[in-house]
Structure 1
Amino acid sequence: MITVDKNPAYPVAIQELKEEKHMPEGMQLRQANYLNNIVEQDHRFIKKRVRSMLGLKSFHTATSIISGIEAMHMVKKGQLILLDKSVQNQVKFIHQLFGIVA
Structure 2
Amino acid sequence: MTEKLSPGVGKVLKRLHYPLDVMLLCVRWYVAYPLSLRHLEQMMAERGIAVDHSTVHRWALKLLPVLEKAFRRRKRTVGKSWRMDETYIRIRGEWRYLYRAVDKAGNTVDFLLRAPRDKAAARAYFEKAIDQNGEPETVTIDKSGSNLAALRAINAPREVPIEVAPLVRAGSRDF
Per the normalisation by structure 2, the TM-score is 0.21
Higher gyration radius (CA): 2
Choose between structure 1 and 2 for higher RCO, CA contacts under 8 A separated by at least 6 residues: 1
